[in-house]
Amino acid sequence: MLKRNKSLSIRPANMNDGDFVIDAIHDIVRICLDKTNIPLIPDDLANSLWRNMIENPKDYHCLIAESEGKKVGTAVLGFHQSLNHLGPICELQDLYVNSDARGTGAGARLLERVEKEAEERGCVAIELLMPDPGTPLDKERNEFYERKGYKLEGLSRYKPLRTTLYK
């Protein structure tokens, strides 16, 4: 595990960060579904989605955490209007820190930058997606977000409109 250090930096992602972010998403899915043998997002689809996100900074933003020149975490954000929140919101789609960098403050620093980005864009709230209760690291995730002032309210349901890779 990395030690807490001041060399941690957070920067906006660029096209060259796509492989790291996509690998992070795969790891999140492995952790959340508690599966090690899941299909990967096909390269052409992943690259197309990544390019769309980078080329549409009004709707998407991605952050990269680095320590001593090594990428150790990422946060993927989406922005849209919300009637029930009465204004624009930031959706924290994914927050990921490499296993060897957990507990170093990287997740907290990423979350601080997420909040700063949301405030600068005039968002009235941040919503985040979390895996089902009882999945691996559930307790740690809940404690982390509660310490940071995030409240658990309501439940989310979704209906797949086409076959997905993961379920």
Q: Is residue 155 part of a domain?
A: no
Q: Is residue 158 part of a domain?
A: no
CB within 8 A of 39, min separation 6: which ones?
165, 166
Q: Is residue 104 part of a domain?
A: yes
Burial class (CB in 10 A: 0-12, 13-18, 19+), 32: middle
How many structural domains compose the chain? Answer: 1
Looking at 86-100, 101-115, 132-146, which range is the least confident one?
132-146
Q: What is the CATH number of the domain that holds 87?
A: 3.40.630.30
Report whether 71 contacts 64 (CB < 8 A). yes
Q: What is the pTM of this model?
A: 0.86
pLDDT tens for 16-57 read: 999 999 999 888 877 777 666 666 677 788 889 999 999 999
Strands of 60-67's sheet in order across: 9-12, 60-67, 70-82, 87-97, 125-128
The residue count of the chain comes to: 167
Boundaries of domain holding 86? 9-147
